[in-house]
């Protein structure tokens, strides 16, 4: 007798995991562009410049040299050595050695490996909100529960106090992103010290996301792992995507102490088995780019930030000057109090593409995220289009 066929299903742990809402905006923009409409695209999070030539040349050379075979799954030696050196000298993580470095398929995979290595089913994880959307899903995919700590009020009352209020007995870790996507917030050294004291007091692990470390406009970037007592409890994740215009190359890295490094190596081994070998040689060239390259990019972004944020405030959006990353997170309740409605009005009627703030957590409602990693002309023309829309 045939067994009655039941509907096939996927594993339950994916039931609550979402799929990126930003893709919906991207598809709408593509549809408008396909219909020959000019769209001012502020919805993205990709550098406006192309990958620098020395990085592309290193890839070509690697191919010519037949660097096309399996590499060690945690990364080729020269790249891990260069990353360890960068972490020691630029980030001040004096304790880091080559064996504390893992090369990953972008920052996203470093974060995935970190969450999978730290969280058990039923654990809680603290994160500041609004947050980069995939983080919540990555926490849920590890069968843990995200505990949202509102960033704005936390910065006012003190991040240490705020974390205490949301802490539960099941809390195991904190996701600590600075500079932040989507708000552009940069945590101060004092904030980092409070987070560190809190983590040490409750014996928590910190997963630090420093994807935008090179985009801090006022003051310097500060890595929480350098504080006393933090090296042993911090996993720090990086990407080459933003600093070097390498979003499509998919290369990033993480640094962690044991036992987390071994755990993360297992996740990488059994998921991607490492980053493509020629890409790693190109990544080595990126690590060797002169510091002026990063300084120049930062001043280019600062121009964009100033133009956009000043313009938005003149048009009735409320937007504090973001201290880092390349996003302006503007209050847009004069367009509509629901950010999804506000975003679709601006897209349909002004052809200005933004991301509704609510996608980044309930604390983002009433806001729109404008990514300013775009040409200056896009900002100027986009502001014109908004002005026309608001005058109509
Ligand atoms: C806060 C944050 N972390 C990490 C990443 C990861 O970037 P990627 O996977 O492209 O390296 C991003 C990308 O948008 C980000 O915004």
Task: Work out the angle at residue 124's Cα, subtended by the Cα atoms of residues 119 and 128, and round it to the nearest 5 degrees.
Answer: 105
Distance 132 CA to ligand 1 centre (A): 8
Please choose from 102, 107, 135, 236 the residue to mutate so as to test ligand 1's pocket, defined by most ligand atoms within 8 A of CB.
107
Strands annotated E in the chain = 40-41, 101-104, 124-129, 145-150, 171-177, 205-209, 234-239, 252-255, 327-331, 352-353, 355-356, 367-371
Q: Is the CB of 130 within 6 Å of ligand 1?
A: no
Question: For ligand 1, atom 6, which residue shows the shortest CA distance?
Answer: 107
Largest CA distance in the chain: 74
Closest CA to 255 of 101, 105, 115: 101
- Collapse the DSSP code of 59 into the 3-class scheme (helix H, G, I; strand E, B; otherwise coil) and give the result: helix
Distance 6 CA to ligand 1 centre (A): 39
At 4 the pLDDT is 67
Strands annotated E in 151-251 = 171-177, 205-209, 234-239
Strands annotated E in 59-118 = 101-104
Q: Are 264 and 130 in contact (CB under 8 A)?
A: no
Atom of ligand 1 nearest to the CA of 180: 1
Please choose from 44, 113, 238, 239 the residue to mutate so as to test ligand 1's pocket, defined by most ligand atoms within 8 A of CB.
239
Pairing of strands 171-177, 355-356: unpaired
Q: Is the CB of 107 within 6 Å of ligand 1?
A: yes
At 3 the pLDDT is 62
Distance 194 CA to ligand 1 centre (A): 25
Q: Is the CB of 177 within 6 Å of ligand 1?
A: yes
At 22 the pLDDT is 83
Q: Are 284 and 88 in contact (CB under 8 A)?
A: no
Angstrom distance (rounded) from CA 215 to CA 325: 5
Question: For ligand 1, atom 3, which residue shows the shortest CA distance?
Answer: 211
- Give the distance from CA 307 to its chain's centroid: 23
Angstrom distance (rounded) from CA 265 to CA 274: 9
Residue 360 CB partners (closer than 8 Å, separation 6+) = 129, 130, 131, 132, 133, 182, 369
Tokens of 359: 């996608």
Angstrom distance (rounded) from CA 215 to CA 35: 35
- Residue 177 has φ and ψ, to the nearest 5°, of -110, 120
Q: Are 58 and 281 in contact (CB under 8 A)?
A: yes
Q: Is the CB of 44 within 6 Å of ligand 1?
A: no
Atom of ligand 1 nearest to the CA of 107: 11
Distance 115 CA to ligand 1 centre (A): 15
Distance 68 CA to ligand 1 centre (A): 26
Distance 238 CA to ligand 1 centre (A): 8
Q: Are 144 and 121 in contact (CB under 8 A)?
A: yes
Q: Are 252 and 110 in contact (CB under 8 A)?
A: yes
Q: Is the CB of 132 within 6 Å of ligand 1?
A: yes
Question: For ligand 1, atom 7, which residue shows the shortest CA distance?
Answer: 107
Distance 22 CA to ligand 1 centre (A): 13
Tokens of 274: 């490492």
Please choose from 242, 253, 275, 355 the residue to mutate so as to test ligand 1's pocket, defined by most ligand atoms within 8 A of CB.
242
- Bridge partners of 126? 147, 174
Residue 21 CB partners (closer than 8 Å, separation 6+) = 133, 355, 356, 359
Q: CA distances (Å), 331 to each of 148, 164, 183, in order?
A: 20, 28, 11
Residue 323 CB partners (closer than 8 Å, separation 6+) = 179, 184, 185, 186, 216, 217, 218, 219
Q: pLDDT per position in the chain (392 positions), as tens?
A: 566 678 899 999 999 998 878 888 888 999 999 999 999 999 999 999 999 999 999 999 999 999 999 999 999 999 999 999 999 999 999 999 999 999 999 999 999 999 999 999 999 999 999 999 999 999 999 999 999 999 999 999 999 999 999 999 999 999 999 999 999 999 999 999 999 999 999 999 999 999 999 999 988 999 999 999 999 999 999 999 999 999 999 999 999 999 999 999 999 999 999 999 999 999 999 999 999 999 999 999 999 999 999 999 999 999 999 999 999 999 999 999 999 999 999 999 999 999 999 999 999 999 999 999 999 999 999 999 999 999 88
Closest CA to 354 of 297, 312, 300, 392: 312
Q: Is the CB of 247 within 6 Å of ligand 1?
A: yes
Q: Is the CB of 45 within 6 Å of ligand 1?
A: yes
Q: Is the CB of 213 within 6 Å of ligand 1?
A: no
At 35 the pLDDT is 92
Q: Is the CB of 108 within 6 Å of ligand 1?
A: yes
At 2 the pLDDT is 60
């Amino acid at each position: 007798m045939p067994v009655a066929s039941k509907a096939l299903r996927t594993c339950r742990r994916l039931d609550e995991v979402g799929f990126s809402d930003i893709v919906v905006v991207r598809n709408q923009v593509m549809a408008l562009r396909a219909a020959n409409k000019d769209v001012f695209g502020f919805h993205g999070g990709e550098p406006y410049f192309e990958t620098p030539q020395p990085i592309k040349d290193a890839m070509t050379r690697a191919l010519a040299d037949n660097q096309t075979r399996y590499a060690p799954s945690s990364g080729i030696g020269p790249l891990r050595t260069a990353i360890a050196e960068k972490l020691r000298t630029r980030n001040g993580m004096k304790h880091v050695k080559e064996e504390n470095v893992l090369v990953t398929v972008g920052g996203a995979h470093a974060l995935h490996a970190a969450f999978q290595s730290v969280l058990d089913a039923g654990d809680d994880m603290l994160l500041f909100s609004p947050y980069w959307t995939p983080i919540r899903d990555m926490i849920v995919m590890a069968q843990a529960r995200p505990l949202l700590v509102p960033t704005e009020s936390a910065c006012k009352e003190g991040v240490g106090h705020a974390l205490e209020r949301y802490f539960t007995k099941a809390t195991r870790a904190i996701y600590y992103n600075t500079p932040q996507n989507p708000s552009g917030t940069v945590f101060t050294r004092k904030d980092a010290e409070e987070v560190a004291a809190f983590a040490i007091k409750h014996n928590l692990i910190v997963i630090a996301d420093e994807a935008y470390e090179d985009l801090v406009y006022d003051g310097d970037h500060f890595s929480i792992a350098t504080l006393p007592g933090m090296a042993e409890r911090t996993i720090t994740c990086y990407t080459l995507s933003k600093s070097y215009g390498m979003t499509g190359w998919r290369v990033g890295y993480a640094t962690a102490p044991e036992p987390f490094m071994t755990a993360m190596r297992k996740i990488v081994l059994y998921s991607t088995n490492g980053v493509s070998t020629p890409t790693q040689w190109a990544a080595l060239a990126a690590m060797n780019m002169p510091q002026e390259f990063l300084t120049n990019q930062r001043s280019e972004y600062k121009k964009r930030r100033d133009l956009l944020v000043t313009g938005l405030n003149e048009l009735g959006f409320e937007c504090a000057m973001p201290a880092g990353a390349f996003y302006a997170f503007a209050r847009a309740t004069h367009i509509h109090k629901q950010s999804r409605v506000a975003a679709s009005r601006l897209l349909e009627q002004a052809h200005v593409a933004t991301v509704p703030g609510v996608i980044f957590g309930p604390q983002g409602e009433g806001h729109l995220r404008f990514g300013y990693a775009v040409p200056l002309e896009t900002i100027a023309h986009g502001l014109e289009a908004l002005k026309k829309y608001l005058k109509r």
